[in-house]
Structure 1
Amino acid sequence: MGLSKKVASANFMREQQTIFACPVCHEQMTVTEQCVVTCENRHTFDVAKQGYVNFMTHPATSMYGKELFEARKQIIESGLYLPMHEAVMDSLKTFGQDLTVLDTGCGEGSHLAMIKNQFEETTDNKIVGAGIDIAKEGIIAAGRNYEDMIWCVGDLAKSPFQESSFDVILNILSPANYTEFRRLLKPEGVVVKIVPQSGYLRQLRKLFFADSDKESYSNDRTVERFKENFSEVSVERITQTVEIDPTLVPMLMHMTPMGWHQKADADQNNVTEITIDLDILIGKVSLKKAFK
């Protein structure tokens, strides 16, 4: 009989335990044989049966529920974001080595899992992948679906990781914490941030926000802020319009905040194709900016 998911996850985390820092007192942590992550001051966090750890030190509410993450997993695994995954993977290949990668705002972990799988299938290198999200339902799903990865419920403002622990930080269509990103990055590490471009999901935008100022979108302010925080910034735009399986349209509507405010008369049957239009921002930390 194989190991339980809880024990297998604890064993994997033990192999990587040097990356952990107590979110309460910031001391080094160890992962015990009893599947507990603990520090010398005896702050303890249990590995759950689904294979994740809840490092939250305060109550938090999330608008994102179980159904949203199930929809998100199906959409991502359908291949809709494949060009973005391939572009990110190509940027990671330039390291030419094994990598530690943290996905911040990872949700149910599908983006990280697909990037890791593609990277390892096409190179001789491995990724130690970790994901953190404030939404517990997402992390439960990640732990249930993806093995040999580290899944944490946690707040980036009190993250459970040591400084200089990661080669790469992914920040895919989610809010950023640049101060924490700089703390967590290794000296030659990079942040890869994915932000929507003007055509992103424009078919849904037209459906929900026709004739309003929300029908158009600009990421200029987000890109500008990224450039203020990192040096050697590169920007690559990934855009394509593809036919979409009609059965996926309700899931796509459910996984995006646009769908939460949909008009009662919005006719999803009119959506037969979808546009993925994204900017991939890659930035390094300069010494000057690191000590601001």
Structure 2
Amino acid sequence: MGLSRKIASAHYMTEQQSIFACPVCGEKMKITDQCVVTCENHHTFDIAKQGYVNFMTHPTTSMYGKDLFEARKQIIESGLYAQLHHTVVELLQSFGRDMTVLDTGCGEGSHLAKVKQQFEKTMDQKMVAVGIDIAKEGVVAASRNYEGMIWCVGDLAKCPFQKSSFDAILNILSPANYTEFKRLLKPNGWVVKVVPQSGYLYQLRELFFADSDKESYSNAHTVERFKENFSDVTIKRITQKVVIPQNLVPMLMHMTPMGWHQTTDIDQTKVKEITIDLDILVGKLS
């Protein structure tokens, strides 16, 4: 099973090999019959048995572990972000063509998988979906759970992709690298960035940060910086309250920064519903 996933990924990556650039020297890359991604200067990166490629050129540690990504997968698959996925798909479909899409900070891949599935299901359009994250545990999980997509461990500061390779870049609740986004986008390409709005998960913030300045949140600085980097910017806000099953509350807490360093006891039974309040920023490469 491991070998077949590896070979299938190699075949799929071969079809898309023009998007790859060596993260060491920047040269074009090709995928060999031995399931190796290599450049003409012989820098090589193996396709793992799960089907992903680790393009990291230096050791790194991540605060995100296997348990966090499992929690994230269960939360996303529960439908908590269904309205977000639906809205993002509508935006991508409005461009009216097959697309090559990069998800930066893809984690365990659930957001990108949902978007690709809906994009191809509702329209006669195809999506080449590529996910990259610096956290290996997330990419390993993505490649195990979602086939027919390209999964890469990598750092955007030493990016394994050619310039002008993507029609759209997704950046969902994750840090951005706008300089690199601009390099990676095709002419007239789009960035779709999702950022929290003031009410996002406020039920959790009330529990963790009651009567502190962290109980409130503003994304104004993030929005302003996005507008400085892209043109034709539109902002679409989605707000909804969703009833959350009690068994999912600990997982939601675990996947958010609020829960990572919590030492005091929190009464999780107080959380009966959760607010999804997000801004979707859409900007064009000018």
Fold agreement, TM-score > 0.5 = yes
Partner in structure 1 of residue 189 of structure 2: 189
| Matched ranges for 1:68-83 at <5 A | 68-83=68-83
CA distance in 1: counterparts of 2:71 and 2:265, whole angstroms: 22
Q: In structure 2, how many angstroms separate the alpha carbons of the residues matched to 1:262 and 1:239?
A: 27
Asked if the contact 2:3–2:49 (Cα under 8 Å) also holds between the matched residues in 1, the reply is no
Q: Distance in 2 between matches of 1:271 and 1:262?
A: 16
SS at match of 2:176: coil
SS in structure 2 of the partner of residue 282 of structure 1: strand
Using the alignment, how far apart are the partners of 2:186 and 2:233 within structure 1?
A: 17
Q: Which amino acid in the other structure matches residue 185 of structure 2?
A: L
1:29-68 per-position Cα deviation (integer Å, ceiling 9, x unaligned): 0000100000000000000001100000011111000000
Query: Which residue of structure 2 lines up, in the alignment, with residue 131 of structure 1?
Result: 131
Q: Report the more deviating stretch, 261-270 or 192-201.
A: 261-270
Contact 2:2 2:49 in 1 (8 A): no
1:79 partner SS? coil
Quick one: distance in 2 between partners of 1:175 and 1:60?
A: 17
AA aligned to 2:164 is S
1:225-240 equivalent positions in 2, closer than 5 A: 225-240=225-240
One-letter identity of the residue aligned with 2:175: P
| Cα offset, 1:263, TM superposition | 4.9
Q: Which amino acid aligns with 2:191?
A: V
| 1:96 matched residue in structure 2 | 96
The runs of 4+ residues in structure 1 deviating greater than 4 Å are: none
Rounded to whole Å, the distance in 1 between the matches of 2:136 and 2:28 is 24
Point out where structure 2 has 5 or more consecutive residues left out of the alignment: none
State the 1:223 CA deviation. Answer: 0.3
Query: How far off its partner does 1:181 sit?
Result: 0.1
TM-score where L is the length of structure 1 = 0.96
Between the two proteins, what is the percent identity of the paired residues? 76
Structure 1 residue 137, shift from structure 2 partner: 0.1
Question: How many Å separate the matches in 1 of 2:12 and 2:58?
Answer: 26
The equivalent of 2:122 in structure 1 is 122
Q: Distance in 1 between matches of 2:97 and 2:260?
A: 42
Q: How does 1:43-62 map to 2 (within 5 A)?
A: 43-62=43-62
Contact 2:2 2:50 in 1 (8 A): no
Match of 1:216 in 2: 216
Partner of 1:276: 276
Gaps spanning 5+ residues in structure 1: where? 287-292
Question: Which amino acid is 2:271 matched to?
Answer: V
- Aligned partner of residue 156 in structure 1, secondary structure: coil
